Amino acid sequence: MPALHSADCRISHEFSLHGECMKKFFKMNMQLDHKEQREVCYYILAYLFDNPDAGDTFDGIVEWWLLDQRIKFATRNVSEAVSRLVSEGLIVEQEEADSRVIYRVNRTREKTIQTILTKGTSVVGELS
């Protein structure tokens, strides 16, 4: 990580940056990824839509709002992916005694799974 040339910017032992320093760092060292920027805009707006009375600092947005929205987004994506993998027969679900559902690889489909992983395909349905 390049050093920031500002007396008010410090990198802690945990490699976290103060909000203003983060802005300076990204302006100096990062090309904008427009897809990622659209996603972040979406997450911020989604958070504010869900929490219309919210307000926070730059640090708070990074640490809490985006984390909250990314967790929701990841949860939706994982839920859809798990459902798809179950419907494709690549993983199986098993209900435990405590009613939790556990997901495991379908050992009868190992060859298909290996092909998917080897080809690096993102569309599971094409190979099953």
75 and 39 share one domain: yes
Report residue 4's pLDDT band, with 50, 70 and 90 as the boundaries.
very low
Six-digit token string for 118: 């080897």
Using DSSP's 3-state secondary structure scheme, residue 44 falls into helix
Considering the domain architecture, whether residues 21 and 48 belong to the same structural domain is answered as no
24 plus 54 within the same structural domain: no
CA–CA gap between residue 106 and residue 89 (Å, rounded): 7
The whole domain housing 2 covers 1-30
CB of 86 within 8 A of CB of 103?
A: yes
The count of domains in the chain is 3
Local confidence band at 121 (pLDDT 50, 70, 90 cut-offs): low
The backbone region for 99, taken as left when phi is positive above 0, alpha when psi lies in -120 to 50, beta otherwise, is left
Examine the domain organization and report whether 75 and 108 are in the same domain: no
**Domain check: are 49 and 17 in the same one?**
no
Tens of pLDDT, residues 48-83: 888 889 999 988 888 888 888 888 888 888 899 999
Which of the two residues, 24 and 57, has the higher pLDDT score? 57
Supply the angle between the helices 66-87 and 34-50 in degrees, to the nearest 10.
100
